């Protein structure tokens, strides 16, 4: 446990983290992946190159320092990060490696500012945070393994079918190689799929929303936008991939309040999963933004689900035809007491969330998928 003096030291480093946090975390990732190259198979290398992961983790570290007196207020972030960690099979044994390189990075980046007191305080603070994360993630692993059809870690699935939704979006049907059952997937949850990239000498995981599932198979819908999704698109039926159990806290809001679903691009995937299971008497309004009708992934499925129920309405904004979509258009469409479900690019979600808050929509009714560890 941190004592009061150590907490004072942590609080005193907040200005340093505010100014140098991204540089520190970038150094940390470079150091760790250089000294422990096996972790390149765990972390998203693309996010390392773009700096996305460094910015997100720097934000999380800063928040931890700011709330060092009461880490419990960060449980929402702990849950989000824990689901992401469990999804790529980060285990307790990884934490000492991360801790070592984080502390060494503090020494190397802060130089004379990394006093004995600072290093001692941050060592204790990291150990405290690691225990919180390990405990939460172990619970996730245990729950995943104990479900009917469940498992822990990686499991081999075969691509049994590929269906082209658009020229650059494919729905993959995945069936367990062991011919066992598949566990229940809460609408909106995702799985990690690990793909071999021989040209890069890497194995890389990526997370994809489960758009449909039954006890024999699950489906993911993937847009071709990077090296992992490209490898998946080029894989033939019969190819074996490794998959982790369903994770994620972005799921269908319970209750009978109206639902207002707002998505853009491939962000429609969790919307589809939720639409398939939402109660028939629940009012649902959907706004989807895409480039064109041909670019509307899962369009036939969405339109069929909407047409099948008079309580559902769909508005599609096609930017090539109607110009850029603006959140100003939401103002006249807001539904009192509705739950708002949002998924799309980070900038899109940030704009929508800010607009909803500006119209006094309570945060408890705003639900969105966060792809990084930072918050909107």
**Domain final residue, candidates 211, 243, 275:** 243
**pLDDT attached to residue 56:** 80
Q: Is 89 left (phi over 0), alpha (psi -120 to 50) or beta?
A: left
At residue 376, the pLDDT reads 38
- 374 inside domain: no
Whose structure tokens read 């931890």? 64
Three-class secondary structure of residue 323 per DSSP:
coil
The pLDDT tens digits of the residues spanning 216-275 come to 999 999 999 989 999 999 999 999 999 999 999 999 999 999 999 999 999 999 999 999
**Does the active-site annotation cover 95?**
yes
CB atoms under 10 Å from CB of 346, counted, come to 14
Q: Which residue has the higher pLDDT, 47 or 43?
A: 43
Quick check: is 248 in a domain? Answer: no
Residue 370 has pLDDT above 90, yes or no: no
Confirm whether 208 is a catalytic residue: no
| pLDDT attached to residue 373 | 38
The answer to whether position 350 is within a domain reads: yes
Residues 136 and 231 in one domain: no
Mean pLDDT on 116-120: 96
Q: Which of 29, 64, 95, 190 is catalytic?
A: 95
CATH number for position 352: 3.40.50.80
- For residue 41, pLDDT over 80 is answered with yes
For residues 241 and 82, what is the distance between their CA atoms, to the nearest angstrom?
A: 23
371: pLDDT confidence band, cut at 50, 70 and 90? low
Share of the chain above pLDDT 70, in %: 98
- What pLDDT, on a 0 to 100 scale, did the predictor assign at position 374? 37
* Domain CATH for 38: 1.10.490.10
Same domain, 23 and 134: yes
Give strand ranges (E) for 44-177. Answer: 155-166, 169-176
Final residue of a structural domain among 102, 119, 146: 146
What mean pLDDT do residues 173-192 have?
97
> Looking at 94, 113, 146, which one is the last position of a domain?
146
Euclidean distance between CA atoms 6 and 25, whole angstroms: 21
Distance between alpha carbon 65 and the CA centroid of its chain, in Å?
23
**Strand pairing class (190-197; 259-264):** unpaired
**Range of the structural domain that residue 291 is part of:** 259-368
Judge whether 373 lies within some domain: no
**Kind plus residue range of the DSSP H or E element containing 87:** helix 75-87
Regarding whether 140 and 61 lie in a shared domain, the answer is yes
Is 226 domain-assigned?
A: yes
Query: Would the pLDDT of 153 be above 80?
Result: yes
Tell me, yes or no, whether 208 lies in a domain.
Answer: yes
Percent of the chain with pLDDT over 90: 83
In this model, does residue 208 exceed pLDDT 80? Answer: yes
d(CA 203, CA 201): 7
58/33: higher pLDDT: 33
C-alpha 74/C-alpha 361 separation (Å) is: 22
Q: Provide DSSP, 51-86.
A: THHHHHHHHHHHHHHHTTT-GGGGHHHHHHHHHHHH
100 and 222 inside one domain: no
- Mean pLDDT value across the chain: 93
* pLDDT tens digit sequence for 70-105: 988 888 888 999 999 999 999 999 999 999 999 999
Number of domains in the chain: 3
| pLDDT tops 50 at residue 375 | no
pLDDT at 372 over 60: no
- Check whether residue 73 and residue 109 sit in a common domain: yes
Catalytic residue, chosen from 64, 126, 137, 208, is 137
Q: Residue 123 falls within a domain, yes or no?
A: yes
Residue 252 lies in a domain: no
Q: Are residues 24 and 139 in the same domain?
A: yes
What is the per-residue pLDDT for 76?
Answer: 87
């Amino acid at each position: 446990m941190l004592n009061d003096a150590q907490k004072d030291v942590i609080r005193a480093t907040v200005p340093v983290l505010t100014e140098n946090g991204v540089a520190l975390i970038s150094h940390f990732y470079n150091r760790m992946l250089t000294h422990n190259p096996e972790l390149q198979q765990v972390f998203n290398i693309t996010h390392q190159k773009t700096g996305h992961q460094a910015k997100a983790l720097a934000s999380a570290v800063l928040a931890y320092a700011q709330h060092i007196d009461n880490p419990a207020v960060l449980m929402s972030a702990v849950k989000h990060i824990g689901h992401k960690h469990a999804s790529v099979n980060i285990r307790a044994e990884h934490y000492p490696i991360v801790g070592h390189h984080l502390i060494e990075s503090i020494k190397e980046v802060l130089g004379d500012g990394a006093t004995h007191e600072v290093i001692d305080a941050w060592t204790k603070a990291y150990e405290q945070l690691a225990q919180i994360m390990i405990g939460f993630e172990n619970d996730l692993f245990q729950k995943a393994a104990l479900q009917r059809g469940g498992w822990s870690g990686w499991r081999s699935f075969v691509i049994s079918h590929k269906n082209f939704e658009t020229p650059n979006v494919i729905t993959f049907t995945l069936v367990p190689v062991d011919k066992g059952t598949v566990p229940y997937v809460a609408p909106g949850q995702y799985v990690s799929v690990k793909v071999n990239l021989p040209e890069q000498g890497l194995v890389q995981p990526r997370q994809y929303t489960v758009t449909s599932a039954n006890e024999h198979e699950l489906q993911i819908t993937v847009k071709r936008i990077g090296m992992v999704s490209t490898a998946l698109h080029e894989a033939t039926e019969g190819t074996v991939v490794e998959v982790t159990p369903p994770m994620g806290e972005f799921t269908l809001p319970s209750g009978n309040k109206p639902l207002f679903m707002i998505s853009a691009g491939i962000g429609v995937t969790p919307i589809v999963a939720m639409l398939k299971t939402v109660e028939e008497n629940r009012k649902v309004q959907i706004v989807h933004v895409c480039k064109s009708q041909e670019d509307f992934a899962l369009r036939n499925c969405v339109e069929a689900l909407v047409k099948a129920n008079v309580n559902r309405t769909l508005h599609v904004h096609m930017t090539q035809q109607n110009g850029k979509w603006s959140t100003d258009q939401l103002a006249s469409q807001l539904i009192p007491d509705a739950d708002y479900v949002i998924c799309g690019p980070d900038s899109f979600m940030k704009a929508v969330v800010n607009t909803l808050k500006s119209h006094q929509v309570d945060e408890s009714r705003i639900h969105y998928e966060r792809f990084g560890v930072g918050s909107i």
